[in-house]
Structure 1
Amino acid sequence: MGLQAQEVSGIVKDSLTQETLLYVNITYLHSDEGTSTDQQGVFQLQLSEENKTDTLLISYVGYRSKLIPVHQLNSTSEEILLQQERAEIETVQLQVKKAKYTSARKIGFKRKGDYRHSKAYGTEVCVWIKNEERRAGKLTEVQLFFKKNKEQNKKWKSYQAYFLVKFYAFDVEKRKPGNLLVAEPILIQPKNKRNTVKIEVEDLNILYPVEGICIGVETIKPEHIKPTESMFSTYPYQVYAHSKEALTWGSFRGKPWKKQRRRSYFKPNMFTNPLVKLKVKYRK
């Protein structure tokens, strides 16, 4: 990792396999400045006078987050090694695999008067899908919904986004997304049009807890995208649904979850939550 000429740079690897890790989040703790590693596990992050007293947060799904004070960075190139944190997740997945299940059932939000949002790179939005049956099961399919961003010729320039899909248990005590249920995220690359993305996940043996499941979607900057503006939108839009409850949390590049209570412009008495539909099998 180098600390030179107003820039922080480095490469992130798995501490055991030495494989480079792509789309790892790197951000300053006390500002919303951040970036992610590219296909080679390399990142570059601008450094200002204010950032020199800050701390870098390096985070990735299935790995222990790492904190590095900026003033401790060496002037020569250095690797950042992240440790895997998967044993407990894999134990749960094995238990899910061995159980017997009913046929698949559809659950999730209803698509009535949907709403669209564009999110900044590095922003993760996580929605809680409640388990109305109060029976444990396994997740077999996830459906996410997108719409075309038509802003290219209007006020904001728009850039392509990819998305990382993640799965969390719901922490009943803290009332927010809790432990991971899968050690690795799923990358999707939807086109800029009205689009339903169906993700088959039965082979991943993802637990569907009695409290429900939290589905996270992080907006990712593709490596070939080089924004030249400080303000811009991303495409495609993720579709949101109207609901009587606020069931959504947000995070920026691995920072703590914050509850979101966005009300609809069209239905002020309703909240907007990401439109997600699931297929689940319940335990017999």
Structure 2
Amino acid sequence: MNSIKVPGNIKGERVDAVLSIAVEGLSRSSLKSRIEQLFVNGQRAKLSRKVSSGDSIEYNLKKEISVNIEAEDIALDIIYEDENVFVINKPAGMVVHPAAGNYSGTMAQGIMHRLQETESDFLASDKRPGIVHRLDKDTSGIIIAAKNTAALEFLSGQFRERRASKTYLAIINGRLPGKRGSIESLIGRDRQNRKKMTWKTENGKSARTNYKVLRRWSEKSFVALSPKTGRTHQLRVHMLKMQTAITGDPIYARKTEGYSLMLHAYKLRITLPGEDKITEFRAPLPARFKSAIISLSGRD
């Protein structure tokens, strides 16, 4: 049984609204089909029950039904591969997992095809492949996938315990204070727009991002961003909080100026299965970044 305390100054909100904000990846629509048991202050309740700050919510969810992933022959830019893992340089615009509106052309389907071609026993019960972490569709760069269940659990544990580290490169609108810094806030679902996250919440989860300024121009900056937590849209929200939205961000920037999202997962440091040392992987800077840097440097 999962449980949360209703946070902040909430008064008279529905249980489904509170859970969809407090639990990452859980929407009000999915709650209708997934909720098995629900209690408020020890008493059985419905999703429409109104709760306030300090109330205790206990709930059980059905396991989410996985989409059947059909293999597709999709070209993957593989940085590294061994018997346990793939490290892939994902292009901007590629979706990681099949979902509504994106049932084809995903990274997961490309991985399934490659495993069919190279691993004769990949359907065995201990060979369940899985993508360890996520990148938004419009973000390019490093992503690691496991070829078997043991590797998936080993790698996922490092992300869960924050022993794996990632560094992103971004072009942002404006300038951050100083050459280095840290941004901390809560991050939760935006109540007005469910596609957005926001730092303007009392009910979110704590998030921290370190930054380093690599280059400045008159109106933009080139920065390295290191998330110390893994919240949805964390880097995009933290840059918006600093009034330096990521250039080309279709959700958080006021205008894209003809750019695509200028965010690239550049570096991953992680311990591979069967090893006791940290390995560092890097994904080369994409052409869209090189072109933008040349263009911005020519203007100043």
Task: Name the structure with the higher helix share.
Answer: 2
Larger Rg: 2
Task: Name the structure with the higher strand share.
Answer: 1
| TM-score normalised by L of structure 1 | 0.27
| TM-score normalised by L of structure 2 | 0.26
Of structures 1 and 2, the one with the larger relative CO (CA 8 A, separation 6+) is 1
